[in-house]
Structures are given as structure tokens and as C-alpha cells.
Amino acid sequence: MDGTHGHRIHINVPLAVERQYRSSFSALFLDKQLKSEDNLRQKVACDLQYLQRRLLFTRDGTTISYDGLTNVACMTYIVDGRE
């Protein structure tokens, strides 16, 4: 979180799956994934919930690494953290 009083949340979405991230998911499905023992499922479900918040802006050209070796091109979504 950043911005004035920490009111912006940054969600890095790999470009290869960006379209899927922008799809609508049921609250029941997301709740089930948040309770999973799989940390990746929890992280993705949390990001998907954040993406339902008001979009402030996007930033392209970012990269992240899940293993410390491979960079993954991403679109960063910045959403309102006050909701």
C-alpha cells in the first residue's frame, strides 16, 4: 500500500493471464480459495478480491519474479485501498 495515508493497493498481474484476472469470480469461489492451504491460491484469490475495488490507474512495464531467477512481465493495477 502507498499513497496518501496508504490508500492505494498495487496488484501485479502477469500479462499472460491478465484477461483472466479481469473476469468476474463468485464470492463463494474466492472464499474457498482464501481458505486453501495452497499459498498461491490464497494470493491469487486475494488479488482477485482487490481487483473488485475501484481502479485508480494502471502501470505497465513492471516485472516480478516468483523464483528469484525468472522475470515475469506484468501490468500493475492500482486500486483504492479504503474500501
Each of the 83 residues of the chain gets a pLDDT tens digit; together they read 566 667 899 999 999 999 888 888 999 999 999 999 999 899 999 999 999 999 999 999 899 888 889 999 999 999 999 87
Backbone phi, psi, residue 36, to 5°: -65, 155
**Residue 57, exposed/middle/buried by CB under 10 A (0-12, 13-18, 19+)?**
exposed
At 6, list the grid cell: 496508504
Distance CA 83, CA 52 (A): 10
At 75, list the grid cell: 501490468
| Predicted TM-score of the model (pTM) | 0.82
The pLDDT assigned to 67 comes to 84
Distance CA 38, CA 60 (A): 28
The pLDDT assigned to 44 comes to 92
The pLDDT assigned to 31 comes to 95
